[in-house]
Chains A and B, each alone.
Chain A
Amino acid sequence: MALEAKNIYFRYGRKQPWILEDCTLKIDRGERLAVSAPSGYGKTTLALLLAGYLKPEKGEILLDDKPLPAKGICPVQLIYQHPEKAVNPRWRLKRVLEESGKLREDVLDAFGIERAWLDRFPRELSGGELQRFCVARALMSGADYLICDEISTMLDVITQAQIWNVVLEEADKRNMGIIAVTHNKHLAERIATRMIDLSE
């Protein structure tokens, strides 16, 4: 049971330089991996590749020794850095959450999502409030792996702690694998069981 990147190569366009060269990475269920690197080293690209949003030019992404499924709910879910871009601005947040399946009251409570927010539009909530919805949506989809691309970078520390506590608790309960992309060394040390640095 593992999510695996096998010797992947990636670049944005034929004439562009390689972003990732011969990158190999393996994460088991229940493991929590922190990925750090300075800007421009391909952290987000790696996250997009692992979640199947991008296809590697060479090499392959394997989930339990099989390629990621092309149809149905993907067992690897990505959470973006900017929540306001990851929700449809014309949808009420109830609909945003329901896109991933049935609403789970326990997740809503854990994130401190007030029921009144469900009837609002995304622009009527703050970034931190919206990010809770994005994380909740990913958790409610029943994913086995969660890739968090700097999900707490723009939040205050209290909200950061709150979101991560819920994510880690849920991950323990369901034996999920987590890949956290982050600049924050202290955060990485707190949440991860293993750390890698792409610049090395």
Chain B
Amino acid sequence: MRNLNRRTQVVILTAFMTIILIAVFSFGLLIPDDAVVGSFLSAKQPPSLAHPFGTDALGRDLFLRTLKGMAVSMTVGTAASMISAVIAVFVGIAAATGSKCVDALINWFIDVVMGVPHTILVILISFALGRGLKGLLVGIAATHWCSLARLIRGEVLQLRSQQYVAVSRKLGKSGGWILVHHLLPHLVPQFVVGLILLFPHAILHEASVSFLGFGLPPEQPAIGIILSESMRYIQTGMWWSAVLPGLTLVLIVLLVDKLGDNLRMIMDPYSAQD
């Protein structure tokens, strides 16, 4: 590792992180429902070799349940942050290229959405849409686009004032052509990095809203559900049922966050010198 330059090191590290995340996700997806059926004979066991994370009060293996929950959470996180990022691009470009009136309206709307605490808004939307996967997805997607939209608006405004865009216009190119050929390629790094940095937010909100009982139904073993169930038994000394799944969640979120930072370093050469 030492004799490679920093860029190569970051690329290798990023690839490694991506592999871990994909492994967790696909392993979680592949676990059949039978594997997490419990038996009361093995209930409330502390972590051991047979059950690395211990078992819960119904005797279900917490390690498999956590992985399965992670896969569900990651699905929600990926879908929600993707929808959010696409909304952000559209809104950001509309604000930057539209009239002053449109820009002011969009900025005001962003302020409004950002002014309401995310969790409350997610709970309201999720509850109004009948909870479950759909409500949660829409709730998270509808609340997370704001900061990325602002970023993209700023970027487009800056790009539009560039001389090469002015030259392009004088060479007879239309606004649409300039948007596709000059502006959008410059937005790809912002979009990808923004998308990945949205993911931890989305996954944490999914977990917290499910924990509070407004998200996924109890039969879907999402991380929030596991944590909220563990609260009932934590006084009886079952520390593992809260700590280990919680730690897994934190680890995955940190991993994705770091992945986003690394990707930014790879894609945006200016920030690599930071």
Contact = CB atoms under 8 A, between A and B. Distances in A.
Interface of A: 51-53, 71-74, 77-78, 80, 82, 85-88, 90, 99-100, 137, 141
Given A88-B182, A90-B185, A73 B172 contact: yes
Contacts of A82: 163
Nearest to B172: A73
| Main SS class of interface, A | loop
Nearest to A73: B172
A88 B164 contact: yes
Given A86-B167, A88-B182, A90-B185, A74 B162 contact: no
Most central of A51, A73, A82, A99 by chain B CB within 10 Å = A99
A38 to B, nearest CB: 24
A66 B171 CA distance: 19
Interface string B166-190: 1110111100000000100110000
Contact of A77 (B170, B173, B182, B185): B170
Nearest to A77: B170
Given A88-B182, A90-B185, A90-B186, A73 B171 contact: yes
Interface of B: 162-164, 166-168, 170-173, 182, 185-186
Contacts of B164: 85-88
| Main SS class of interface, B | helix
Nearest to B173: A99
Contacts of A85: 162-164
A72 B166 CA distance: 13
Contacts of A78: 167, 170
Contacts of B182: 88
Contacts of B163: 80, 82, 85-86
Most central of B162, B167, B168, B173 by chain A CB within 10 Å = B167
